[in-house]
Amino acid sequence: MLEKIWRKKPTSIDEEPFSVRVDKVRKNSVPIHVAIIMDGNGRWAKLRNLPRVAGHHEGMKTVRKVTRFANQLGIGVLTLYAFSTENWKRPRFEVDFLMKLPGEFLTTYLPELIKENVRVEMIGDFSALPLHTRNAIKNAMEATAYNDGLILNFAMNYGSRLELVNMVKEISELAKDDKIDLTDIDECLIESHLMTSHLPEPDLLIRTSGEVRLSNFMLWQLAYSEFVFTDVYWPDFDEEYFLEAIEEFQMRSRRFGSVTDEVNIVRS
């Protein structure tokens, strides 16, 4: 079932204030792992007659907001789809611009991330990134390696099919060398050869800007996740929309957890 957040609920005098909603959400079961497809930066810019890259740049502010808020809510892992294996097909100057964003983001926000006990991690093919991008990320990963708060996991040059292809190659190699038996191949072994082997599966996937597809993102890992789609462009996404998505998640998992109606169909 795909439910969408269409727009901000109209504010009315009887709507609960943001802080009360945050308290309630924190008391319920907060998702451990939230994954986000940060879409709509280009369209946000176009709407304002700005170049696409202005939208990408603005999107960094949302990354900062959402990271701080996820940390406050007690979320364990926030995975952000920052650059896909398909994104190399974009115009050269746009790719070059994007590759400068991790460095700029970290120059601005790394001190804050360290202070707030956030741990920076990455999934994806690191080796194909420009050296300056790799260095910026590597530095942040090392500087936050002992933090045990939120894991801020960037999917960079990540593609799920490539991840699955590599998993098959690694397992085949083990079988060929008689290190494993075919009967040893199970879900657990497969998971241990994915880039997310050290992480729990996402409980919640959010995609912004109205597109309703996965775009080669965590195909295996999202098998049981709740999906929330919103029409809001990533630069306009904020704490309130994030809270709305989590409220939706909590509503669904409560429904799913209770032994009533559709779950408990009486058979004759």
14 is catalytic: no
Residue 140, interface with ligand V0D (CB under 6 A)?
yes
Q: Is residue 123 within the footprint of ligand V0D (CB under 6 A)?
A: no
Helices (H), the chain: 18-27, 41-47, 52-73, 92-115, 131-143, 160-176, 187-192, 239-257
Nearer to ligand V0D, 70 or 156 (CB): 156
**Cβ atoms of 43 and 86 closer than 8 Å:** no
Q: Which is nearer to ligand V0D, 119 or 171 (CB)?
A: 119
N residues, the chain? 268
Is residue 87 annotated as part of the catalytic site, yes or no? yes
Binding-site residue total for ligand V0D (CB under 6 A)?
A: 20
Query: Looking at 69, 105, 227, 233, which residue binds ligand V0D (CB under 6 A)?
Result: 105
Phi-psi region of 129 (alpha: psi -120 to 50; beta: other; left: phi over 0): beta
Q: Which two tokens stand for residue 155?
A: 């999917």
Of residues 30, 82, 70, 65, the one with CA closest to residue 203? 30
Which candidate in 41, 71, 87, 139 is catalytic? 87
Asked whether position 242 contacts ligand V0D by CB under 6 A, the answer is: no
Question: Closer to ligand V0D at the Cβ: 63 or 75?
Answer: 63
Q: 158: which residues sit within 8 A by CB, 6+ positions away?
A: 81, 83, 84, 85, 123, 124, 125, 195, 217
Instruction: Please pick, from the candidates 34, 36, 37, 120, the single residue that binds ligand V0D as defined by CB under 6 A.
Output: 120
* Residue ranges that bind ligand V0D, judged by CB under 6 A: 38, 41, 56, 59-60, 63, 82-83, 98-99, 101-102, 105-106, 120, 137, 140, 154, 156, 234
Hey, which residues are catalytic here?
A: 39, 87
